[in-house]
């Protein structure tokens, strides 16, 4: 019986191996062996390991871009609330991709997503409620990083509603109203 090696099989095994050994620690040969196909079959579906990575991360990036679009018209508390809710949902939905990007490499290392740094900075600003206070900017960065870390490290939430916990913590840590800039 011949197994039909689909694009989805390859993506699933690549995600599993990347999460275990990291992007740099996984070869195309490793993925092909895990799928049970030849490296040529794998390369038929994906031109390179970078192309495979792009295919894995692209759905999450597209959702991040859609969140960025939704946040563009919002300011202050509305921006912060929508950013927190949208980002928590995104990282929970795309946990394997977040783990890969956060643990193994920077999203800017993936050639297909230029401009992602600007999107990330706009997300930080939205988390800070568009405050001019540098302390609010730092708080936003800490909360964003913390959300990613918790989602990665708590694959089994132990019965806790992780979404609710993350949004509650973000609400507690981020200012409800932007503060004026503090002079140093």
Q: What is the pLDDT of residue 157?
A: 63
CATH no. for residue 26?
1.10.10.60
For 68, the domain range is 57-173
Do 147 and 110 belong together in one domain? yes
Q: Would 178 be classed as within a structural domain?
A: no
Do 107 and 162 belong together in one domain? yes
Q: What is the pLDDT of residue 179?
A: 52
Q: Would 180 be classed as within a structural domain?
A: no
Q: What is the pLDDT of residue 95?
A: 87
pLDDT at 31 exceeding the cut of 80 = yes
Handedness of CA 56, 62, 65, 66 (dihedral sign): negative
Do 163 and 72 belong together in one domain? yes
Work out how many domains the chain is built from and give that number: 2
Region 103-129 average pLDDT: 77
Q: Would 146 be classed as within a structural domain?
A: yes
Do 111 and 21 belong together in one domain? no
Do 41 and 116 belong together in one domain? no
**Separation CA 140–CA 105 (nearest Å):** 21
pLDDT at 146 exceeding the cut of 70 = yes
Do 151 and 127 belong together in one domain? yes
Q: Would 179 be classed as within a structural domain?
A: no
**Separation CA 87–CA 67 (nearest Å):** 8
Do 117 and 146 belong together in one domain? yes
Give percent of the chain with pLDDT exceeding 70: 85
Q: Would 155 be classed as within a structural domain?
A: yes
Do 91 and 16 belong together in one domain? no
Do 42 and 65 belong together in one domain? no
- DSSP per residue, 47-65: SSHHHHHHHHHHHHHHHHH
Do 34 and 73 belong together in one domain? no
Q: In which band, very low, low, confident or very high, does the pLDDT at 115 lie, cut at 50, 70 and 90?
A: confident
Q: Would 108 be classed as within a structural domain?
A: yes
Q: In which band, very low, low, confident or very high, does the pLDDT at 163 lie, cut at 50, 70 and 90?
A: very high
Q: Would 1 be classed as within a structural domain?
A: no
Do 41 and 68 belong together in one domain? no
Does the reported pTM lie above 0.85?
no
Q: What angle do CA 11, 16, 19 make, to 5 degrees?
A: 120
Do 35 and 112 belong together in one domain? no
What would the pLDDT profile of 69-79 be if each residue is shown by its tens digit? 999 999 889 99
């Amino acid at each position: 019986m011949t197994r039909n090696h689909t694009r989805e099989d390859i993506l699933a095994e690549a995600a599993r191996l990347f999460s275990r050994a990291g992007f740099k620690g996984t070869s195309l040969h490793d993925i092909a062996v895990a799928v049970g196909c030849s490296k040529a079959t794998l390369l038929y579906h994906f031109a390179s390991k970078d192309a495979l990575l792009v295919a894995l991360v692209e759905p999450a990036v597209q959702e991040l871009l859609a969140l960025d679009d939704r946040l563009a018209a919002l300011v202050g508390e509305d921006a912060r609330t929508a950013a927190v809710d949208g980002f928590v949902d995104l990282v929970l939905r795309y946990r394997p991709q977040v783990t890969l990007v956060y643990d193994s490499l920077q999203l800017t290392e993936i050639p297909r997503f230029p401009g992602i740094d600007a999107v990330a900075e706009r997300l930080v600003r939205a988390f800070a409620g568009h405050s001019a206070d540098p302390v609010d900017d730092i708080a936003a960065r800490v909360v964003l990083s913390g959300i990613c870390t918790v989602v990665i490290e708590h694959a089994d939430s132990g019965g806790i509603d992780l979404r609710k916990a993350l949004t509650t913590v973000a609400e507690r840590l981020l200012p409800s109203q932007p503060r004026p800039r503090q002079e140093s």
